[in-house]
Amino acid sequence: MEALALRLSGLDPYVDGAIRIVAFYDTLMRRRVDLPALARASAGLAECVTGIRLHGTGRTVRVSPLGTEATTEPLPASTTAPITLDDEEIGAVWLERPGPPNALDDILLDRLALAVAAAVERYGPARTTMADPALVELAVADGTDEAARARALRLLGFAAGRPVHVVAVRAELPLGRVGALVSPSGLVKAAPLDDVGVLLTAEPVDPGRFPPGVRAGLAAADRPDRSWRRARTALRFTTPRAPVVHHANLGALALLAEVPPEAARTNPDVAALARVAGTPEDLATLDAYCATGSLRRAADLLHLHHSSVSRRLEHLGKALSLDLTDPTGLTRARLALAVWRLLEGRGD
């Protein structure tokens, strides 16, 4: 192998440089160096400021080519690479090269990311959010034997007898990243179950920590299986205006999720709303009015003149056979909208 590497390096200066970088990091990993040492060595090799950041702890290391802590104002990263551990992105490494990237910068960062992942796994904090889906499913499934459930929770790191909070998630972001953001310092485990992601946390989750574009249903009950059912129900009630919903805040609205689908579809109010929903402008107007209960506030949300909203609501009232200015009519419209969304399996 060494003879082949030597022959290749003689053929191409780029290959020679790449082989030297690989050998450099192999040596560092054999010596089991820690994160600061990796950053110092990398900054010296790259001859520019080098950074390491771990998402879970928020820890950031920036080192100058002299091997000291970088105190200058950070430059935009010229090259970046993710740090991956157990198929989860746990951080990032980057170079702050003042000029254009070097041809070997990608290889350097790739090897640095591998070395950082090895160091994190060895020295900690090695906490990752992604968990074995089979264990998570055992923990939240309806039919799990309680002894098996307790064992699954123990293997996931949760203390016996302590409450477990459950979140049902739909997001374009990686599930592990969502878990790290909503519970940056506490125990959190995540796994995909069917078409929904599940987060298990040891502490209550702050709804404000969810990043934009994430829909989440929160729940906390006496057992994880009950919490999971309630979290999935809460997820069904999310909308662009309310992307995070706690089951406890649904109150009697949660009962709508238990209405048989066929009975819901044949309800005159729901059937009429399903016809109206085919026109996005009408649906948006009704949603804004149901959310605010005020023509002028709905107009503000829609960025329309109140007279335009008034005309739309008059048209909608006729289509739904409801007087939307009457409290009873407005309540029926709100219920019909909620039931329609549950039937459609959507919150938009």
- Nearest alpha-carbon partner for 191 in 247, 139, 258, 126: 139
Predicted pLDDT of residue 57:
64
**185 and 106 in one domain?**
no
**309 and 238 in one domain?**
no
**232 and 214 in one domain?**
yes
Q: Is-contact 18 104, C-beta < 8 A? A: yes
Single residue among 194, 226, 250 that ends a domain in this structure: 250
Query: Looking at this protein, which amino acid is placed at residue 338?
Result: A
- Residue 206 inside a domain? The answer is yes
- Residue 144 inside a domain? The answer is yes
**330 and 288 in one domain?**
yes
Predicted pLDDT of residue 157:
82
**295 and 223 in one domain?**
no
Domain that holds residue 196: 133-250
- Residue 86 inside a domain? The answer is yes
**CATH assignment of the domain containing 290:** 1.10.10.2840
**184 and 235 in one domain?**
yes
Single residue among 123, 141, 159 that ends a domain in this structure: 123
- Residue 210 inside a domain? The answer is yes
- Residue 287 inside a domain? The answer is yes
Predicted pLDDT of residue 16:
82
**89 and 12 in one domain?**
yes
Compute mean pLDDT per 10 residues along the chain, 348 residues long, and list them: 43 78 92 89 95 79 92 92 83 93 94 91 63 89 90 84 91 88 84 91 92 94 92 93 94 93 94 91 92 92 91 93 94 94 69
**101 and 20 in one domain?**
yes
Q: Is-contact 257 337, C-beta < 8 A? A: no
Looking at the structure of the chain, the number of domains it has is 3
- Residue 128 inside a domain? The answer is no
**268 and 300 in one domain?**
yes
**116 and 64 in one domain?**
yes
**102 and 7 in one domain?**
yes
pLDDT, tens only, 147-177: 999 988 988 888 777 889 999 999 988 898 8
Single residue among 97, 123, 149 that ends a domain in this structure: 123
Predicted pLDDT of residue 1:
36
- Residue 217 inside a domain? The answer is yes
Q: What is the pTM of this model?
A: 0.63
**105 and 84 in one domain?**
yes
